[in-house]
Amino acid sequence: MKTFDSRRRRNIRILAAVALLLIAADVILSVSLRAPHVLSGWILFSLVVLLALYNVRKKLPFLPLGSSSAWLQVHIYAGLLAVLLFVLHVRWRIPNGVFESILALLFVAVAASGIVGLIMSRIFARRLTTRGAEVIYERIPVFQRRLHLEVEQLVMSCLADAGSTALSHLYLARLKPFFEKPRNFWQHLMQSHRARHRLLVEIESHERYLNDAEKKAMREIADRVRAKDDLDYQYAHQASLKYWLFAHVPLTYALLVFIVFHVVLVYAFSGDLN
């Protein structure tokens, strides 16, 4: 079985060789006064179609079309090659027409979202095993609701037993908003513990106003705050891993449509292209 490292090295070598070949072809065509953008354009178009086909492969898991991981490897390196071809195709300039600018922006957005997605899938997956229990994304609201109910019951029991509202005030002001829905999305992605620390400090400092029964309840609430924070961490990372595709895939379809128009326009107004 090939290691990931050796696979990566092999793929980078292939990518570098193909990239050098393409650059050489571009240079040769340029100095021979041909139109290198025709070749780069068509190769780029083919590559974008190939890249988009990965989504089709995903929809046909029951056909022997090769493993998804092999497709993803092709997708990643063909995507990087497409970036190089794009740069060659636009001759290192920013397009000036409205249509061409939108097309270029779409390409940049698709490429950027792909690279961000790749980085996330490599980093976030590893992070998910380091904090909190393994939880299925769709079940997160259930666990969140359960924790909220438990905290609510602890607060209510103190209200009835101790007759004090110190805990309930804290609950309404700080805990209820925290337990109601996922919180600190970006902070979790940035690996920041600040929000969790601040809330736990607040809880600790509030203890001086509580009687023994309330203190006991408060310690249990602190445990739930930690559990909810871990759940939020899972939510932030799993949601990011799921939803980046909602940008990448529609943008790809939009790009394909624009490319087709681009090709039609180019051939419609290119009397001397050939």
Partner 1 sequence: MPRPSAESVRAVERWSVPFSPKRSDEDIDRLLAIEPFSLIDERKFSGRVTLRGILKNDARIVKCEDGDILVREGDWGNSAFFVISGSVRVEIEPSGKGLPDEVLGRSKPKRKGLFQAIAQLWRNPSRPEVRDAASYQIDPRLGTRGGGDRTRIYLQDVSVVLDKYRTATIHAGQFFGELSALGRTPRTATVFAVGKAELLEIRWQGLRDLMRRDESLQRRIDMVFRERALESFLRDTPMFRHLSEEEMRRLVAEAQFQAYGQYDWAMPFKRLVQAGEAAGVEHEPLIEEEGHYPNGVLLVRSGLARLSQRYHHGHRTVGYLTAGHVYGFEELVEGWRSRASVPLKYSLRAIGNVGVVFIATPLIEAFVLKRSGPAGAGRRARPAAATSSPYTSRIEPDLVEFLVENRFVNGTATMLIDLDRCTRCDDCVRACAAAHDNNPRFLRHGPVHDHIMVANACMHCQDPVCMIECPTGAIHRDLHEGQVVINDQTCIGCGACAKNCPYDAIRMVEIRHASGGFMCDETTHAPIVKATKCDLCVDQWGGPACQRACPHDALVRMDMRKVQSLANWQNR
Supply the minimum distance, in Å, between the C-beta of residue 69 and partner 1. 5
Q: Map tokens 């804290």 to a residue.
A: 170
Of residues 122 and 208, the one with the C-beta less far from partner 1: 122
Q: At 181, phi and psi to the nearest 5?
A: -155, 170
Q: Which CB contacts under 8 angstroms, 24+ apart, belong to 87-92?
A: 88/22, 88/23, 88/26, 88/36, 88/40, 89/37, 89/40, 89/41, 89/44, 91/37
Of residues 139 and 216, the one with the C-beta less far from partner 1: 139
Of residues 99 and 137, the one with the C-beta less far from partner 1: 137
Of residues 6 and 270, the one with the C-beta less far from partner 1: 6
Task: Say how far apart CA 149 and CA 143 lie, in whole Å.
Answer: 10
Binding site for partner 1 (CB under 8 A): 1-4, 58-69, 71-72, 120-121, 124-126, 128-129, 134, 136-137, 238, 241-242
Of residues 66 and 141, the one with the C-beta less far from partner 1: 66
DSSP character at residue 181: S
Task: Say how far apart CA 125 and CA 34 lie, in whole Å.
Answer: 47
**Lookup: tokens for 3:** 């290691």
